Structure 1
Amino acid sequence: MKYDVFGIGNALVDMEFKVNEAFLDEHKIEKGLMTLVEEERQFQIVKALSDQDQHEVKRQCGGSAANTMIAISQFGGKSFYSFKIADDDMGHFYLDDIKENGIGTKNKTGQLADGVTGKCIVMVTEDAERTMNTYLGITAALDEDQIDEEALQNSAWVYVEGYLVASPTAQAAAVKTLALAKKHGVKRSVTMSDPNMVNFFKDNMKQLISFDLDLLFCNEQEALDFTGKFEINEAREELKKFAKHFVITLGDKGAVIWDGEQYINIASHKVETLDTNGAGDMFAGAFLYGINNGLSYEEAGNLASLASAKVVSQYGPRLESEQVSEVKKQLA
């Protein structure tokens, strides 16, 4: 196989800020969730941050699945990412950054479409919770044309971002990706991405998860909302109807994995949490890298748990190369 994982998702330039809860209250921003906004609303928030002398902590190419593909690459795997960006400054920044991280793509300078590249304001409060306001821009028009079937066919896994359910064309692209994976015998994985995606686009999410998935990623709240259960043990039993294997992340309680035969409890790591942005993306990336490179589900879960702990103890959704080496060394 040429690639460990073929991913498809939104392409967003992440702009991260440290804020206090008063700022969220003042500007009526719902804490802890990803909210889709219009460009003008996003501009107003950035201006308000600037007026309060709040400066960007980090700017990186992002989007949930992009962070996961980069995590796979950082650990030594090979990933390919399908996405849509515009021929503007942010689009060129995004393309340069994704390539610098060793990710394969069919996007090329000089062949980008007119439009506005999507952006995500990530606001991190003192309790390390991340709140996102996203203007999708041209990524809302992601469609089947962005799928590189040859790259998909030469991948061991596909990984579909749940945020795609918010756009009709992106939903169609996600469904086509899973159908092509089934056709070519490529293993299929999906992440639910966010409780809002489950609650507001449940029928679309069910369509993705109807593909008899090999692997499903979700957090505790998403599992409860999707299954309609009030207790996580009931929710995880219900999820067996939708996927052969699944991972439920539980925040500071670790994670639980269904490996098809038994539940595996994965311990968390005690760290000082600064920023939860990207924790789930890193968990998925490290886990997919692990199971694709000789690790058992339990070993991959332990790798993913430690990598996620490293991520939340800093600002931004990625690790530096030295941190990746530390994670591998600690688990060796």
Structure 2
Amino acid sequence: MTFTARGLYASTSKERKSRGLFRVLLIIGALIALASVFWVVSAILAYSTTSTTTETTDASGVTALEIDNRTTGDVRVVAADDDATVEARLRDNVFSEAVSSVSGDGTLSVGADCEQWFIGSCVVDFQISVPVGSAVRVEGSTGNVSVDDVNGDVEVANSTGDASLTGAANVTTNTSTGNVDIADADGDVDVTTSTGDVVVAGRGDSLSVATTTGMVDVVGFEAPDVNVSTTTGDQALRGVTGSLTSEATTGNVTITADEEFGDITAATTTGDITATVADAVGAVDVLGESSSGDRFIDVATDPDASMWMDLTTTTGNVSVTSR
């Protein structure tokens, strides 16, 4: 005697379980697809501008400006002959509303933020004019910052946005991946960045630049004390008339001395050091050593010279020539 029916029941039960599992997986896949579509559509709407408004505010008696832009918008500050003017351009999206504020007496406080209930980011761009000589302080996010010909102290703290500053007095900048371009500075300059490039020109009592992978280009800076530090970024140092201290790890250092200078100290690990000295400068004393790197010195040297270069590398090469 056999019980074939029992085998049929067992087979049918397995088929039902397989079909049930298939339905569950099908439902889960459909839900994932719907969720994906939802997030894609939401992301598109979140970064699509739905409305744009412009707000303008005038203020008198302004001696300082403080800006806190928590949106991805840009900030531009220019010099004015008399009163200050703040123009804010606000761009909303489906999920967030841009808001701005202007307040203060003497010190003008300007702010911007996003009131949002879901994902996305709004934008507030500022165009601001302030009297010449006003102190300017800007905190931004991913937007660019520019300050032109204000001739006051300028401080900028930014994340990934670039900073372009022209005609400022004392300058302090702190950025992450943003580039920094400073022209015609007339005061102390202190620049800190991570992967952003730095270009500096001007005059003052001191210049300090510190970056990781960013390149540094000192076009010309008249100061008694200049300090530049990079990790993998290259350095191009020109027109430095005071004492110069340069430190780099794998970055290369290029020094151009077209006129008399103070003491120059440069040190790298695997980076090369290349120095060019104008014939009109006269003899210099070249010091330093290289562990495994080559040294090529083709310039008038004098151990009693008033100007000296201390150039030290580990595996990097050293070259000093005249022109």
- TM-score tier by shorter-chain length is under 0.3
More strand by share: 2
Greater per-residue helix proportion: 1
State which structure, 1 or 2, has the greater radius of gyration over its C-alpha atoms. 2
Q: Structure 2-normalised TM-score?
A: 0.24
